[in-house]
Each structure stands twice: as C-alpha cells, then as structure tokens.
Copies of this chain bind each other. A is one copy, B any other.
Amino acid sequence: MKIAVIGAGAMGSLFAGRLADEDHHVSLIEVSGAMIEAIGEKGLRMTGRFGEKTYRLPVGSADHYTDAFELLIVFTKGMHTTSAMEAAKHAIGPDTWALTVQNGIGNVEAIEAFIARDRIVMGMTNWPSTLIEPGLVNVPGDGEIKVWAASGQMSQKLEVIAAALDEAGLNCTLDSHVEVAIWEKLAFNSALNSLAAITGLTVGEMGDRRESRNIVFTIVDEVVAVAKARGLAVDVDHIRESIEHAFANHRQHKPSMLQDRLAGRRMEIGTITGAVSKTGAALGIATPVTTAFADLLTIVDGEA
C-alpha cells in the first residue's frame, strides 16, 4: 500500500517503520523542521522490541507530496488533527482511506471533514513507544491494536488495513466493539494524565497516596457514567485493574500530558478530559471533577 503517516512522533514512527518493513511504500508527513532534518539525514531509527533498525523513508511537510495516498494514518495530537488534514488534503483522492488510533475521542469527526466516514478506520492501541530524540524511537514492550470501521460497516478494505498492521507485527484485530476499548482507555487517560499534569506526580506516586487515588477513581466513575449513557458496555472493574496494574508496574512513568507540560508543549485536553466533559454535558450526565480538571488543564496549558 501507498501509505502516509502524519506525525512522526513516538507512535507514528513505530507504525511507519513496521509497515515499511513489510514492503509498503511509507511516507512521513511532519511539520517540525528538526524532525524532518533528523529523519532525512539519519533515517528513522528504532530500538527495542523489534531490534535495531534504520528505515530510509520519504519525509517532509504535506506540500512535499503531490499524489494521493491509499491510506493516511493520522498520528498527530488530537488538537492538531484538523490542521494536519487540512494541510494534507491535496493528497486525498476518492479512494484514500484514513486510520486513526489516536488517543481520546473526536478525531473521527475531525477527519470526516476531509474523508467520508465510510473510508475511516478507527481504533485503539496500547503499544508503548518513546521518542528518544527526533528520528529515534524505542519500543520497550508489546502491545496490540483493535480497529473497526467508523461507519460501523465491515468492508474488504478494512480487512486489508487490519491485515497489513497485523502482518507488520503490531497485533491488530478487528473488533466491532472497539468504541468500548476506546472509552476504557479514555477513562484511564482522563484520570492519570490530568492528575499527573496538574500535580507532577508519577504513576507510582499517584498510586501511593489516598488523595490521588480518590481523584483518579472519581474521574474514572464519571467517564464510565458518560460511556454508559452513550450505550457502551465499558467495564469499570477492567479499567480499575488496568490502573492498579499501572500503579504497580509503571511507577516511574510520567503520563504524556505531564511530559508535554514539563516540556512547555500544548497538552492534549480537548480530545481527552475536555471531550468527556462535553459529551457528558450533551447527554445530561454530570462530570464535575472531570470538567474541573479540563478547566484546570486549560488554565495551565502551555505554561513552561
């Protein structure tokens, strides 16, 4: 397949490298000059789970490309989805599909302003990946991908995309209930990312304190209430187990929003905590603490 990965961060690089390894024609679309320069000069380098590899891939801003791609894999932060699609719209043809396994919710809605919903694949991934420096990612462990059609309709192309990801070693399965998985991850992220970004606590430190546990599980309960009002059979015990697992096993981890705040980068609020708050309001479900954290995050967003 002729694929473009939009956003050469930790996850975009992992997907691009793995797919390139299976002889797909993979291009990288980036906005950061430093990222383009590093990957152009040294290639895209990967360490960890898949060994030491260097991939020589086309890399550049969207206007660097002229022809339409078969598949756009969108891996920007949620607040950049629309601007990234806008920049890449000349490379979208009538047969171009899009895949989003970005964090949070609302990305499908942003993408469908550019590609019809029946050509969008949505999903969830828990692959771990860390950007060590521009063009160098480390993949410390294993993960999986679950995808389904954003339209809800099974199709041959959906099967082809899922098979390509699976053959690339990324453990991809089709799951018609992927929205449940998306919302379970959303609950996890709404709680841990928000609290870490506000307090500076690591995952382990959040698990050690009664006060942080109170806040984390209050937010989880609010997200679960909204998901259930949306008709999704999320499993609160499953979410709590994932969080307890993270408290015990990822003690030193700084969730991405905290990393962003410490680096003075914008935080991914609108598609995570903010999206829960908005969805709750639309459905008449109270999310007082999640909403307060979305507001707190907006207040401190971008402070360095």
Contacts and interface: CB of A to CB of B under 8 A. Distances in A.
Interface of A: 198-199, 201, 209, 211-212, 214-215, 218, 288-289, 291-296, 298-300
A215 B296 contact: yes
Contacts of A198: 198, 296
17 contacts: A209-B299, A211-B294, A211-B296, A211-B299, A212-B295, A212-B299, A214-B291, A214-B295, A215-B292, A215-B295, A215-B296, A218-B292, A288-B288, A288-B289, A289-B292, A292-B292, A292-B293
B299 A199 contact: yes
Contacts of A289: 288-289, 292
A199 B294 CA distance: 13
Given A211-B299, A215-B296, 17 more contacts: A198-B296, A199-B299, A201-B299, A211-B294, A211-B296, A211-B298, A212-B295, A212-B299, A214-B291, A214-B292, A214-B295, A215-B295, A218-B292, A288-B288, A289-B289, A289-B292, A292-B293
Identify the interface centre among A212, A214, A218, A295: most chain B CB within 10 Å of its CB. A295
Contact of A199 (B199, B201, B300): B300
B295 A211 contact: yes
Nearest to A297: B211
A215 B292 CA distance: 6
A85 to B, nearest CB: 27
A292 B219 CA distance: 10
Nearest to A221: B288
A224 to B, nearest CB: 15
A289 B198 CA distance: 15
